[in-house]
Amino acid sequence: MNRIEKALMHALFTHLHHNIDKAISFKAIDALNKKVGKLFPKVLLVGPGDDAAAFKFPGVKGAFVGKMESHCSPCVPRPYDAAATGAGGAMRDVVAMGARPLFLMNFIGTRPLNDKVIVGPCGFAGKCTCGKCVEMTSGKRVDLMVKGLRDMCGAMDVFIVGGGFSTSFSDVVPAVVVSVIGRLVTAKPLTKPAKSAGDQIILIGKTGSDGNDTLYRAGLVNEMRPAVALFKEERAVMEASLAAFRTGKIKACSDLGAAGIGAAVCESARYGGFGAHVDLARAAVREKNITPEEIMICETQGRMVVQVAKRDVALLLRTIRAKGVRADVIGEINKDDKEVFEYDGKTVAVIPNAPARAELRELNAEF
């Protein structure tokens, strides 16, 4: 395994963000849901395991989508952007299921408001040695986080309907948790797993080098640069995605959150029982000198990945681009048992759907 393969495989198979079932008994939750389902039949459409949950309210026409997401650690170096992208990420998860986000609730937990905190690259250390950080009160940092949430909701026309707040936290990392509810606009929920070999993978939006958390944890970069909030782009990508959904041609969809294109493609292919081939050089980028590894794994906001049959590619590209949003075919689903990422004909990473036990032991030991 090279370093980028280790970083993505760690994210996919070891890190709890992608492996919640290692900490929580999904069997117990499934048993509970089946029990409740006897009282309210056909209410839960998609439960835990996809980008978001899809459900109906008894007696109410239509279906709804809900998602909860936290963006705690990124709030140490970038509280405004981290809170905004936490909200934006939860909204994109709702969109990825085929819904328009409508309502947001949030929880913020922090140190007492008069406590001093370091905001910037040295925030985790509690003392600035880089000269780029700012010392402020915990209360001022809360103001920045609330503004980030408010500005993202303003950009996406989403109501803030409530939430919670606590100043009893003692850790350097504040808690920022958002929950988003939206209404389904597609005939049925879209889901993450790939559906057919030969389907084309379309990237909506452009990729940058921000949101490098996975690279940072793997020791491939020296500084964590959380994703920057992209308000206009988020709105444009949402509208373009909803327009694409209305064609009825989307077969699978995924939000590009943690570990970016790499995680989105690998999870979709693996969950569907397929493989994939991706040419990272086809992905539109926001900046010069971005590396193939950054294109593959960074968490730039305002992006989505969809899969369509080859015969429908032209229609989908026209529909998305008509909204002023970049869209490019970057790969294809195949019948393999692994995902291969290339750049200009050179292999960047090969990710197996089922890593060997020795590989998993190596990942656990290294990270």
* pLDDT tens sequence across 320-334: 999 999 999 999 999
- Give kind and range of the element (H or E) at residue 190: none
Q: How many CB atoms lie within 10 A of CB 79?
A: 28
Backbone CA torsion sign across 239, 242, 246, 252: positive
The average pLDDT across 228-250 equals 97
More confident residue, 273 or 215: 273
Share of the chain above pLDDT 90, in %: 84
Whose structure tokens read 């990237």? 203
The whole-chain average pLDDT of the chain stands at: 94
pLDDT tens track for 264-295: 999 999 999 999 999 999 999 999 999 999 99
Burial of 16 (0-12, 13-18, 19+ CB in 10 A): exposed
pLDDT, mean of residues 204-210: 95
Torsion angle (degrees, nearest 10) of CA 294, 296, 298, 303: 130
**Averaged over 219-233, what is the pLDDT?**
87
Q: Which residues pair with 184 in a beta bridge?
A: 99
* pLDDT greater than 90 at residue 107: yes
State mean pLDDT over 40-59: 92
Mean pLDDT on 72-93: 94
Query: Would you state the structure tokens that stand for residue 55, as one six-digit string?
Result: 């459900």
Q: What are 112-146's pLDDT values in tens digits?
A: 999 999 999 999 999 999 999 999 999 999 999 99
Residue 157: its pLDDT value, please? 98
* Mean pLDDT of the 233-246 span: 97
13 CB burial (10 A radius; 0-12, 13-18, 19+): buried
**pLDDT score of 224 more than 80:** no
**pTM, to two decimals:** 0.94
8-21, pLDDT tens digit by residue?
999 999 888 788 88
**Which domains are present in the chain?**
42-188 (3.30.1330.10), 192-367 (3.90.650.10)
Task: Please provide the DSSP assignment of 316-360 as one string.
Answer: HHHHHHTTT--EEEEEEEESSSEEEEEETTEEEEEEESS--HHHH
| pLDDT reading at 255 higher than 80 | yes
The answer to whether the beta carbons of residues 297 and 262 sit under 8 Å apart is yes
Conformation bin of residue 161: beta by default, left when phi > 0, alpha when psi is -120 to 50: alpha
List, in order, residues 6 or more apart from 124 with CB less than 8 Å away. 76, 172, 173
